[in-house]
Structure 1
Amino acid sequence: MQPSLIVICGATATGKSRLAMTLAQHLNTVILSADSRQVYREFDIGTAKPTWEEQALIPHYLIDICDPTETLTVAEYQEKANHLISSLPHSPPLLVGGTGLYIKAITRGLKIPRVSPHPQLRSSLKRLGQLQLYALLQQVDPNSATKIHPNDQVRTLRALEVFYITGKPISEQQGENPPSYPILQVGLDCSPEVLTERIQYRTEQMLALGFVEEVKGLIKKYGWSLPLLDTLGYQEIKDYLAGETDLKTAKELMVIHTRQFAKRQRTWFKGQSEIKWFDSEQSDLWEAVSKMINIEIERFQK
């Protein structure tokens, strides 16, 4: 046996894509994106989506598979990724990104209720207020209520939504069914100081590549209320275009918010014991990762 999947994960701006490109060329394989915004068409610069040149060099999957007005659920992503992993002739494919829930859905085989968002139901429930919503959850699904913070409206609404659509508590429909094939997980990390410098550089590069024009075009085509425009990077530039701030402030806020997001990513991934960590600043990064992969392949073959 040999690994059927290699994961490259970590916080934003730690060099995952660069390492993945080198590794994919070495292994003659493909890259599966594990980024919850790269799945959407036209959201390119702000999501650090691979360029056309990079996509021509190495086939990339699970990017540009949805229109910005659509919503791709984790369950739908899991289904698409699992199909690719089992059907692509390239082995092992590389699952690359920083969306921890996407990666966990694949590597742990999360059982996810196949219930699409129902905006009308959510809107009706929201009118009750979070205090009453949580009390309702405690009645219909006490197991979920013990795991959801009383102020977490997003998860409370989702749990109630699943209950009212399926008639079963979400806690009875969740769990894990890990895949039977071997998986290697590589994590990239660096010091907070270095990460801040990388985030600052990436922000400058995004603006130089025309990020403001990208957001302008998206607003013109889809309107100011498109939910994706309220996500990291796009929100700050949207506020600038609305005249609520200047570009210098917008850029500073992008750096601050990205740094905060990266901190949350690091916390998430550090809780995954199966990840083998590497310092993205080490000079022999490629050699170290390649050596580890070869050792693991030999171990699987014994």
Structure 2
Amino acid sequence: MTKYDASLSTLIAIVGPTAVGKTDVGILVAKALGGEIVSADSMLIYRYMDIGTAKPTVEEMQDIPHYMIDIIDPDQNYSVALYQEQAEKYIKEINSKGKYPILVGGTGLYVRSVIDHYNFSGTEINWEYRRKLNEIARIKGNLFLHNCLKEIDPETAEKLHPNDRKRVIRAMEVFKQTGRPISSYHDRDKIERPKYNLKIFGLIMERNTLYQRIEQRVDKMIERGLLEEVKWLLDHGYKTQLNSMKGLGYKEIAAYWSGELKLEESIELLKRNTRRFAKRQLTWFRRDPRIQWYNLNNYQGIHEVAQEIIKSLQE
């Protein structure tokens, strides 16, 4: 944590890969400290998408207020700039009540947009340019587009997987509209005053353990009705071309309903894609030296990890 500044608001963040236990730990910390949770998950913003996003139920929230969940329909446009604006508003409100805002999630860009000086002014969505880049990727492939980004912003290209077309296009869009690479906005944090008295915790576990949890989570999603959830969304006109429907769990199961994949194939594909996603999340977060890491394999359970985090906050 940066040196404490009494004029700054407090912010606690809990980050890490999917399925590691961020939601449960965040709730335990919030209960102990009298905190409220601001989600930093780019899929939890969508209504009607509950099972595939592992969205916490009302019971699981344990009366802890949660923000930035169920705020838009799956066919509505959204941006990280809008997320930043709304999340910061809630953080300010929580601090004004004398409570701890706790940012919980694994969407790296959402987290960074809040904790750092990301300036999205002048970078409104350019739909025509996005369509052009998507068409280029369709014809020449995602790797071609990724190489184009590498020429103008090698730092961001290094962080993004070539198949993460959405963020590759966003980075190219920012450069086109501002003349500056999106990574240049990150450098502002090296010279500007911190936004918060920030304490950021990362949860990790051994790879094999995490992968087992991912497979178990997917199996549980199927048991809870993921197939039916995706079918309901498709039947209600939410097309597979939507960003929301390209999320993990939705694109794979939609492929089953369209007949492109057998059920067993779609489930195995979902497990594989989730493992790869978790690996990319870890790569993103491990670049941030401010994160205090906790390996869950070294603890008896999430309650013990939560206690360690609480102890660290009280020191």
Normalised by the length of structure 2, the TM-score is 0.81
SS in 1 for 2:100: coil
- 2:37 touches 2:101 (CA, 8 Å); kept in 1? yes
Contact 2:84 2:110 in 1 (8 A): yes
Contact residue 111 and residue 173 of structure 1 kept, 8 A = no
CA displacement, residues 89-110 of structure 1 (integer Å, 9 cap, x when unaligned): 2521111011111111112222
Contact conserved, 1:3 with 1:184, CA < 8 A, in 2?
Answer: no
Describe the superposition over 1:234-255 as per-residue Cα deviations: whole angstroms up to 9, x where unpaired: 1110111111222112111111
What does residue 206 of structure 2 align with?
A: 191
Partner residue of 1:266?
282
Equivalent residue number for residue 68 of structure 2: 62
**Structure 1 position 286 matched with structure 2 position 286:** no
1:290 Cα offset (Å): 3.0
Task: Quote the residue 1:102 is aligned against.
Answer: 110
Q: Residue 224 of structure 2 corresponds to which residue in structure 1? A: 209
Stretch of structure 1 that moved more, 151-160 or 68-77:
151-160
Match of 2:78 among 68, 72, 79: 72
**Superposition pairs for residues 246-257 of structure 1, below 5 Å?**
246-257=262-273
AA aligned opposite 2:265: T
Find the aligned partners of 1:110 and 1:202 in 2 and give their Cα distance.
33
Question: Across the two proteins, how many residue pairs are aligned to each other?
Answer: 293
Alignment partner, residue 275 of structure 1: 291
Of 256-265 and 144-153, deviating more is 144-153
> Is 1:15–2:21 an aligned residue pair?
yes
Task: Give 1:38's aligned amino acid.
Answer: L
Once the two structures are superposed, what CA deviation does each residue of 1:169-214 show, in whole Å capped at 9, x if it has no partner? 4569734355343111111111111011101110111111111011
For the 8 Å contact 1:278–1:285, the answer to whether it is kept is no
Q: 1:169 to 1:86 in 2, by over 3 A?
A: same
Quote the Cα distance in structure 2 between the aligned partners of 1:38 and 1:135.
Answer: 31
2:50 aligned partner: 44
Distance 2:263 2:248 in 1: 15
3-state DSSP class of the match of 1:45? coil
- Note if contact 2:17-2:282 (Cα within 8 Å) is conserved in structure 1: yes
The worse-fitting range, judged by mean Cα deviation, of 81-90 and 168-177 is 168-177
- Is residue 174 of structure 1 aligned with residue 180 of structure 2? no
SS across alignment from 1:182: strand
Choose 39-48 or 88-97, whichever is displaced more.
Answer: 88-97
Tell me the SS of whatever aligns to 1:185: strand
Distance 2:176 2:43 in 1: 28
Q: Secondary structure at the match of 1:244?
A: coil
Bigger mean CA deviation after superposition, 242-251 or 104-113: 104-113
Q: Partners of 1:8 and 1:294 in 2: how far apart?
A: 15
Task: Tell me, in whole angstroms, the C-alpha distance in 2 between the residues paired with 1:36 and 1:51.
Answer: 17
Kept in 1: contact 2:115–2:195 (CA 8 A): no
CA deviation string 1:157-178 (max 9, x = no partner): 4455446656x54569734355
CA shift, 1:230, in A, is 2.0
Alignment of 1:234-245 (within 5 A): 234-245=250-261
Going from structure 1 to structure 2, the CA distance change for 1:264 and 1:125 (only over 3 Å counts) comes to: closer
**Structure 2 counterpart SS, 1:46:** coil
Cα separation, partners in 2 of 1:87 and 1:179, compared to 1, 3 Å:
farther
Mark the CA change 1:146 to 1:238 in structure 2 (over 3 Å): closer, same or farther: closer
Q: Decide which moves more: 282-291 or 191-200.
A: 282-291
Residue 46 of structure 2 corresponds to residue 31 of structure 1: no
Paired amino acid for 1:112: F
How far apart are residue 215 of structure 1 and its match?
0.2
The more displaced of 105-114 and 124-133 is: 124-133
Gaps of 5+ in 2: 1-5
Instruction: Mark the CA change 1:249 to 1:135 in structure 2 (over 3 Å): closer, same or farther.
Output: closer
CA 1:113/1:198 → structure 2, altered by over 3 Å: closer, same or farther?
same
Please give the TM-score of this superposition, normalised by the length of structure 1.
0.84
| Residue identity in the other structure for 2:311 | N
Please give the root-mean-square deviation of Cα atoms over the aligned residues, in Å.
Answer: 3.1
- Contiguous gaps of at least 5 residues in structure 1: none
